[in-house]
Amino acid sequence: EKAVNLKKDLAEMQEWMTQAEEEYLEKDFEYKSPEELENAVEEMKRAKEDVLQKEVRVKILKDNIKMLATKVPSSGQDLATELNVVLENYQLLCNRIRGKCHTLEEVWSCWIELLQYLDLETAWLNNLEERVQMTENLPDKLDAVNDALESLESVLRHPADNRTQIRELGQTLIDGGILDDIISEKLEAFNARYEELSHLAVSRQIALEQQLQTMRETEHMLQVLQENLVELDRQLTSYLTDRVDAFQMPQEAQ
């Protein structure tokens, strides 16, 4: 009777493993939304816990069959053969579910990391847009233009590492068919805004550099002119002090 019960327990265990494999490993999952992906991760975590909890039952079966084999070798031998099959299938199921759980957790981590990089770069784009707007309607002063140019250039000196991460993470998920529509939409919107703002910022940078160059040249010309006027004023004052007749002065002084 005990052998019959153990045989029944082995059959039930095998049936449960078959159902678990169908439910957790043979489904054709499609992750088209973050909610679906998150739910799949949580489901696989529960599956892993469920499968590992059966380890106690498997151990009890193993111990009971060993004990029976010492008392009734003939019955125990047959059950030991079935037990080995169950143990092998159970270990395989554990490994596969652990592997799938780990994979889904990695995919979820990849998605969260992508969102974090997108948030960082979006904040940078907002800052860049603000600096570009600050270059409009500047007072016609050299210091104001120079400060605006330096401020814009400091934002433009932004490393491309984050954008590289966004591209690689997004492509990895899309290639796996995971959240591909959502990610493609996000990347398209981000890249379009990046290209537009970068082009506008570089154009403003070039315009400010040209404006600054022109203002510096004008300032230099005014300074030279001012120095010449001061020298001329000094000479005229000297001539007047010495009561020099106008026709005796150099042509430029006349």
pLDDT at 129 over 90: yes
Residues 2-27, mean pLDDT to the nearest whole number = 85
Give the pLDDT confidence score for residue 217 in this predicted structure. Answer: 93
Which ranges of the chain would DSSP assign to H, the alpha helix?
2-24, 34-71, 73-134, 142-156, 161-175, 180-241
State mean pLDDT over 198-202: 95
Output the pLDDT for position 75.
63
169 pLDDT higher than 80 = yes
Instruction: Report pLDDT for 155.
Output: 94
pLDDT at 23: 85
Give residue-wise pLDDT tens across range 132-143: 999 988 888 999
Report the C-alpha gap between 72 and 220 in whole angstroms. Answer: 111
pLDDT at 176 over 80: yes
Q: Show Cβ contacts of residue 176 under 8 Å, excluding neighbours closer than 6 positions.
A: 107
Q: What is the mean pLDDT of residues 143-164?
A: 93
Every domain of the chain and the residues it spans: 1-211
What is residue 168's predicted lDDT score, i.e. its pLDDT? 95
Closest CA to 136 of 201, 86, 199, 82: 201
Backbone angles phi, psi at 141, to 5 degrees: -130, 140
The per-residue pLDDT for 156 is: 93
What are 87-118's pLDDT values in tens digits? 899 999 999 999 999 999 999 999 999 999 99
Q: How many CA atoms lie within 13 A of 236 on its CB side?
A: 10
Would you call 250 helix, strand, or coil by DSSP?
A: coil
Distances, alpha carbon 208 to alpha carbons 85, 199, 212, 245, in Å: 78, 14, 6, 51
Per-residue tokens: 223: 């300074």
Question: Could you tell me which CATH number the domain at 1-211 has?
Answer: 1.20.58.60
